[in-house]
């Protein structure tokens, strides 16, 4: 996977998540514990993420905290795997006919978890491309 490809895919997914409806329930059924993507799929995501030209970056969890937090190391492969798990779990639910629960899964976990991973990866990939490969920020087809 290339950095421009990763940036475009994460950006597209992020925008799609912004357009999801607000979750309509605070709880989902107990049957959802079994709605998990196959582990080999996550291994594929991790392998593709390992191809990226950068792996780690510095971030703060809450950029609006006062006083400012200390930076911690972030990981693009970890970000991509967390995003994949959350989105794929919703896809499993959707394909099983649990459309409402799939929407809840996507929207709730976007707001509470994987949206932060996506934002960190987006900023990092954008910074990398703008500094190292500015042509990667323009689509040439």
Total number of domains in the chain:
1
Q: What is the CATH number of the domain that holds 28?
A: 1.20.120
User: pTM for the whole thing?
Assistant: 0.81
Q: Would you give the end-to-end CA distance of the chain in angstroms?
A: 17
pLDDT exceeds 50 at position 54: yes
Residue 29 contacts residue 101 (beta carbons within 8 Å)? yes
* 3 state SS of 3: helix
* 3 state SS of 73: strand
* 3 state SS of 47: helix
Which residues constitute the domain of residue 23?
3-137
Residue 3 contacts residue 133 (beta carbons within 8 Å)? yes
Neighbour count for residue 37 (Cβ, 10 Å):
17
pLDDT tens digits, one per residue of 58-98 = 998 888 889 989 999 999 999 999 999 989 999 999 999 99
pLDDT tens digits, one per residue of 18-38 = 998 876 555 555 555 456 666
């Amino acid at each position: 996977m290339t950095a421009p490809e990763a940036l475009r895919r994460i950006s597209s997914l992020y925008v799609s998540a912004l357009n999801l409806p607000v979750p309509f329930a605070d709880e989902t059924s107990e049957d959802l514990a079994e709605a998990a993507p196959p582990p080999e799929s996550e291994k594929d995501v991790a392998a593709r993420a390992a191809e990226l030209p950068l792996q780690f970056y510095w971030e703060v969890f809450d950029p609006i905290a006062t006083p400012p937090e200390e930076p911690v190391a972030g990981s693009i492969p970890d970000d991509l795997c967390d995003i994949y798990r959350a989105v794929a779990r919703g896809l499993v639910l959707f394909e099983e006919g649990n459309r409402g629960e799939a929407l809840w899964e996507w929207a709730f976990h976007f707001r509470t978890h994987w949206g932060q991973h996506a934002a960190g990866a987006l900023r990092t990939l954008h910074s990398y491309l703008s500094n190292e490969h500015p042509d990667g920020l323009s689509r040439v087809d």
